[in-house]
Structure 1
Amino acid sequence: LDKFISIALPRIRDFQGVSPKSFDGRGNYAFGVKEQVIFPEINHDKIVSVYGMDVIIVTSARTNEEGRALLRHLGMPFKK
């Protein structure tokens, strides 16, 4: 998660933070990534097609507020 937050997310074009509203009511967080190229492990020379994906972070939190506090403490860059 640390690598995703500190390396992959900042590689998103025009990245300004993730939405603080994407919690499911139980403290879990979900969002979409439009291109797999944000991951440094991807070899750009071998990309045949661009793929997106959904990312779901399941937490031990019981409420959205607890989940948001946990992810913020771990460094998740939420939009203001």
Structure 2
Amino acid sequence: MLITNDWWEKKRKEIKKTLGEKFQHTSLMQSTDIEKIVLNSGVSQAITNQQYLESTEKLIQQIGQGQKPVRTQAKKSIVSFKLREGMVIGCKLTLRKKRAWQFLFNLINFSLPQIKNFRGLPSKSFDHQGNYNLGINDLNIFPETNYDLTFKNQGCQITIVFTSKSAEENKYFLELLQFPFQKSKTVQR
């Protein structure tokens, strides 16, 4: 399902208003917002076979609504992995504005429910910058993916980058979007 410009702008303003009330901001501009979403996939098999990298690039492009990913290179050499500095070992894609909202909408409503025995995502996966990180082990959960392009152990890292460094505010932002966090376990005595 494609979201319209009106829907995501309306939802964004609604969430920012709710955040402003809860965290006592004097302006909507003080409330956190999604700056970008980064999809990053390292392909260790690319060292021996470039076709794996090309397949992953096509998949990431499909997941990212047609936007072309950028290849990433190794920053240092690791002899035991037969890896040399500058070798292409993965790809990444940055989604902004409407594409980021579209991806997040699809992730929450269509992709994450495809995971077997899914019990929610950890609520403690915020880094010191207030960004949320999650790893997907199987790219087949995305409905956009072409099964012919997938291979074993193919996953990606998803980073949701916020304008605020407050993990508490960013978590509440995701909760307002119905992000599927794990339910906290209560201790019974």
Kindly report structure 1 stretches of 4+ aligned residues shifted beyond 4 Å: none
Structure with bigger helix share is 2
Letter in 2 for 1:38: I
Aligned to 2:57: none
Using structure 1 for the length normalisation, give the TM-score.
0.89
Shift of 1:14: 0.9
Aligned to 1:73: 176
Aligned to 2:164: 61
Unaligned runs of 5+ in 2: 1-103, 184-189
Give distance in 2, aligned partners of 1:47 and 1:11.
Answer: 18
Aligned to 2:151: 49
Residues 56-65 or 14-23, more deviating: 56-65
Give distance in 1, aligned partners of 2:150 and 2:174.
Answer: 34
Count of matched residue positions in the alignment of Structure 1 and Structure 2: 79
Cα gap change, 1:63/1:48 in structure 2, threshold over 3 Å: closer, same or farther?
closer
Give distance in 2, aligned partners of 1:64 and 1:39.
Answer: 27
RMSD: 1.2
Report 1:4-43 matches (<5 A): 4-43=107-146
Shift of 1:59: 1.4
Shift of 1:76: 0.6
Using structure 2 for the length normalisation, give the TM-score.
0.40
Over the matched positions of the two proteins, sequence identity in percent amounts to: 38
Shift of 1:32: 0.6
Unaligned runs of 5+ in 1: none
Give distance in 1, aligned partners of 2:168 and 2:125.
Answer: 12
